[in-house]
Amino acid sequence: MAQLIAANWKMYKTMAEATATATALAERLQGRIPSHREVLVCPVFVHLAALAPILRDAGIALGAQDVYPADEGAFTGEVSPKQLQDVGCTHVLVGHSERRHILGEADALIAAKTRVALERGLAVVLCIGETLTERRSLQLEAVLFRQVSSALTDLPAAVTERLIVAYEPVWAIGTGEVATLEDIDAAHGLVRRMLRDCLGASAAAVRILYGGSVKPDNAGAILQLDTVDGVLVGGASLDAESFARIVLA
């Protein structure tokens, strides 16, 4: 399966800056994306419609950073799967650690977002990962199992082809720290076994990305691991040249 190289721009960039970055990225990657790779960019909600044609023309997919698990309704400040698709989104991030730990999203809400977004036809990048405290107290397996099983138990097999999981150790996000290749390989192997337990045979089609201080100088080695099916990039994706180097690593 193709590796997915995904950019999470988080709450950065004005409209002018986002447009300039998307345009520069499109120019750098036009006709150069390797056949074994796919590229995804996830800007803030207010920039989605403007960036859609720029990215689409370069063969880059558009994703949102969050979604609400309903088609419409009195949910002030939220955005539905249908509205995301209407502006050109094909993907959405769900359960990012910043939403879990800063905004207090519970496993049940993340599970609902995952299910509804998949059922409505979006590809979902389900983010999971442990904090440093959890890792040091030997809770890695328990935390990942809770996050995976709560989101995926009883998920219809028909929608799992659009599921992607991103393993992001919280202690390595934006800190400059990065898990060792051995740590990444072990964690991804663990997640793969959990996916098989939850999804059965359909788990084989689920890509597992690594996220956590991915940069041009370490992306190549990470992407060479057999257990890694792509990367989710934060800070290093904010610069077009930097992110293009990761795509081409």
pLDDT (tens digit per residue) in 24-40: 999 999 999 999 999 99
Residue whose token pair is 């959990």 = 194
Catalytic, out of 91, 96, 98, 130: 96
Catalytic residue among 38, 105, 130, 168: 168
Give the domain range for residue 15.
Answer: 3-247
Angstrom distance (rounded) from CA 227 to CA 190: 10
Q: Is the model's pTM score more than 0.85?
A: yes
CATH number of the domain that residue 187 is part of: 3.20.20.70
* 96 flagged as catalytic: yes
Position 161 pLDDT exceeds 80: yes
DSSP code at position 223: H
Q: How many domains does the chain have?
A: 1
Residue 245 confidence (pLDDT): 98
Is 27 a residue of the active site? no
Q: Residues 185-195: what's their mean pLDDT?
A: 97
Beta strand 123-128 with 37-42 is: unpaired
- Residue 37 exposure: Cα atoms within 13 Å on the Cβ side: 23
